[in-house]
């Protein structure tokens, strides 16, 4: 859906406490989560405002977000064990 919020806590509500812990204690996770949040906000803004963007550029932004989300998820799984 256009404009949908894909924040980490929305995507992985069961990991909310783990997300918060890693953001506070793991600089790499914090940095990647921040980049993920920025990408998500940029994509959402472009979708909601109907801003002109080439389909390929939008696809690239969404791909970057997806790759980063997968990486963050793997780290959440590992940290929750």
Q: Domain tally for the chain?
A: 1
Domain that holds residue 34: 8-79
Assigned domain for 1 exists: no
Assigned domain for 3 exists: no
What pTM was computed for the model?
0.88
Q: Are 44 and 4 spatial neighbours (Cβ–Cβ below 8 Å)?
A: yes
Q: Is the pLDDT of residue 28 over 70?
A: yes
**5 pLDDT tier (thresholds 50, 70, 90):** confident
Assigned domain for 45 exists: yes
Between CA 42 and CA 53 the distance in angstroms is: 12
Q: Is the pLDDT of residue 53 over 90?
A: no
């Amino acid at each position: 859906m256009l404009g949908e919020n894909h924040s980490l806590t929305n995507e992985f509500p069961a990991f909310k406490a783990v997300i918060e812990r890693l953001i506070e204690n793991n600089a790499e996770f914090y940095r990647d989560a921040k980049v993920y949040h920025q990408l998500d906000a940029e994509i959402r803004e472009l979708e909601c405002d109907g801003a002109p963007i080439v389909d390929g550029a939008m696809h690239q932004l969404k791909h970057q977000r997806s790759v980063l989300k997968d990486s963050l998820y793997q780290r959440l799984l590992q940290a929750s064990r």
